[in-house]
Structure 1
Amino acid sequence: MKEKKYKAVCFGEVLWDIFPGEQRRIGGAPFNVAYHLFKMGLDVDVISSVGDDELGHELMQKINNWQIPTDHIQITGEHPTSTVIASVDENNDAHYDIVENVAWDFIEKTTENQKVLATADALVFGTLATRNEKSKNTLFQLLEISSYNVFDINLREPYYDIRIINELLHKTQVAKFNKAELRMVLDFLNKEYTDEKDSIRYLQDKFGIREIIVSKGSKGALYAYEDSFYLYPTIPVEVKDTVGSGDSFLAGFLSKRLQKETSAHEIMAQAVSLGAFITSQEGACPEYTLNNFIQFKESHPLSALSF
């Protein structure tokens, strides 16, 4: 019997990150997740939009060269392809100036992207794609079709609204936060922070979310599934940059989570390993093969921490 090939759809920004003194790199959190899911052997589709301009044509050509499907990336003559001015500080952390009123701010709902959601195993999305009413409305319509909604909170000032985050969390099956985002969302909700377990249980109860992930930087990553908590350490590597490390972590998580019989250990080992592997390389979407990653993972075995 042929093994099922799982499929994820990633909704939102596809863009060019422009770094000082470097060539531009393809980016956008949803696309980064799609790239790594594809590398892990999953079927992926990206629902986004680029401009009918030189940057858009170049972006589409590069994605096609990677053999990642572009069927649901819309091309518009009304808005330009997105560019982001990126900088990296002394701690190798990236900061972004995200230009507004670009193509992915105006993603259209189509019969085709509704159909692809009906057969997908997961829909991945973030907060940034809701900054414009057009893409926000499209996303909310697609969330009603998908049965497994994965919300990568990914707060980028000033492009978020707690009312929208609140609505999105009510439609979410898996929510991923970093440490700062967890605290921020609790503050928005007027919930006092005491500890991570209390915070997660509060969010699970308030929004009916069974699964919550918290990436904790050098202190590892925490996965809560209903009443069970799994804490895993980071893998020590020489950090080239942290751009897209959270996106690769999420892709690693989903690449195992969508396999229904996979254990929490296998899920988190894949997530932490892929995040570390990408952090040890330059860029959010470096060239690599699945075998490259497997070799890295096998040479860096992981055990859970007590929590």
Structure 2
Amino acid sequence: MEHIKTQAVCFGEVLWDIFPGEQKRIGGAPFNVAYHLSKMGLEVNMISSVGDDKPGHALLEKMKGWNIPTEHVQITTRYPTSTVIATVDENNDAHYEIVEDVAWDFIDATAKNKEILTTADAFVFGTLAARNEKSRNTLFQLLDIGSYNVFDINLREPYYEVGMIKDLLYKTHLAKFNKAEMRMMLDFLGKEYTTEEDGVKYLQDRFDLQEIIISKGSKGALYAHEDHLYRYPTIPVKIKDTVGSGDSFLAGFLSKKLDKQSFVHETMVQAVSLGAFITSQEGACPEYSQEDFSRFKNEHPVLALP
């Protein structure tokens, strides 16, 4: 019997990151997740919007070259394709100047988008694409259809509002925070931070979340499923840059999580391995093969932390 690929749908920003002294690179957190899910062999679709302009058509051609379907990426004549001015500091961390009123701020809720959600195994979204009322309303309509909503919480000032994040969390099945974002969220809710365990349990209870991931950079990662906590270390690598490392981590996690035959250990090993592998490369979406990644993974075995 032919194997049916697992399907994921990612929603939100697709854009060109403009780095100093370099050519532009395709980016956007949900697109980065889609790219790595595709690299892991999953069938993935991207719901977004680009302008009817040269950057937009170039972006679509790039996606086609990577075998990522473009039929759910809308093309608008009213708004331009998104470009972001990116800078990298002395710690290799990226910072972004994100222009507003771009195509992905105005994603329409279409019958075609809603239909694809009825068969998707996961629906991945973030905070940034909800900054504008149009795309935000579309997102909430799609969340009502999704059977496994995955919220990648990227808090980029000033493009988020606490009430909106809370509303999104109530519609979420799996939430991913980094350590700083988890502490910010607890602060927003008036909850004093004491321990990771306490913070995670509070968020699970507050928003009826079965699953939470906390990515902690060099300190590893934590995965909470119901009352169980799993901790895994970071693989030490020579860092090229950290652009998209969290997105690749999430894609690695989902690539195994959506395989119903995988266990938590396999899922977390895949997550930390792909995150480390991409951190050792240049850019959020470097060219690589499954063989390249498998070689890296075999050379860097991972054991759970006590």
TM-score using structure 2 length:
0.99
What is aligned with 1:232? 232
Aligned-partner residue type, residue 60 of structure 2:
M
Which residue number corresponds to residue 246 of structure 2? 246
1:213 partnered with 2:213: yes
Q: CA RMSD in A?
A: 0.6
Match of 2:57 in 1: 57
Aligned residue in 1 for 2:165: 165
Aligned positions of 1:5-16 closer than 5 A? 5-16=5-16
Pairwise CA distance, 1:260: 1.6
Tell me by how many angstroms 1:259 deviates. 1.2
Deviation at 1:262?
A: 1.3
Aligned partner of residue 230 in structure 1, secondary structure: strand
Q: Which amino acid is the alignment partner of residue 292 of structure 1?
A: D
Pair 1:86-2:86 in alignment: yes
* Structure 1 residue identity aligned to 2:58: E
Aligned-partner Cα distance in 2 for 1:15–1:30 = 10
Q: Deviations over 1:17-75 (max 9, x none)?
A: 00000000000000000000000000000000000001101111111111110010000
CA–CA distance in structure 1, aligned partners of residues 27 and 14 of structure 2: 6
Distance 2:28 2:227 in 1: 33
Rounded to whole Å, the distance in 2 between the matches of 1:3 and 1:83 is 38
For 1:261 and 1:165, the matched residues in 2 are separated by 32
Matches within 5 A, 1:44-123: 44-123=44-123
SS of equivalent residue, structure 2 residue 95: strand
Q: How does 1:118-157 map to 2 (within 5 A)?
A: 118-157=118-157
Q: How far 1:261 moved relative to its partner? A: 2.7
Unaligned ranges ≥5, structure 1: none
The unaligned stretches of length 5 or more in structure 2 are none
In the alignment, the residues of structure 1 paired with residue 157 and residue 72 of structure 2 have an alpha-carbon distance, to the nearest angstrom, of 28
Aligned to 1:265: 265
- Secondary structure of the structure 2 residue equivalent to 1:146: coil
CA shift for structure 1 position 142? 0.1
Q: Which runs of 4+ in 1 moved over 3 A?
A: 1-4
The number of equivalent residue pairs is: 306
Which residue of 2 is the match for residue 189 of structure 1? 189
Rounded to whole Å, the distance in 2 between the matches of 1:16 and 1:24 is 6
Q: State the SS of the aligned residue for 1:270.
A: helix
The secondary structure found in structure 2 opposite 1:20 is: coil
Q: Percent identity?
A: 72
In the alignment, the residues of structure 2 paired with residue 278 and residue 234 of structure 1 have an alpha-carbon distance, to the nearest angstrom, of 13
Whichever residue aligns with residue 68 of structure 1, its letter is: I
Amino acid at match of 2:57: H
TM-score, normalising length: structure 1: 0.99
Amino acid at match of 2:139: L
Q: 1:175-186, aligned counterparts within 5 Å?
A: 175-186=175-186
Residue number in structure 1 paired with 2:21? 21
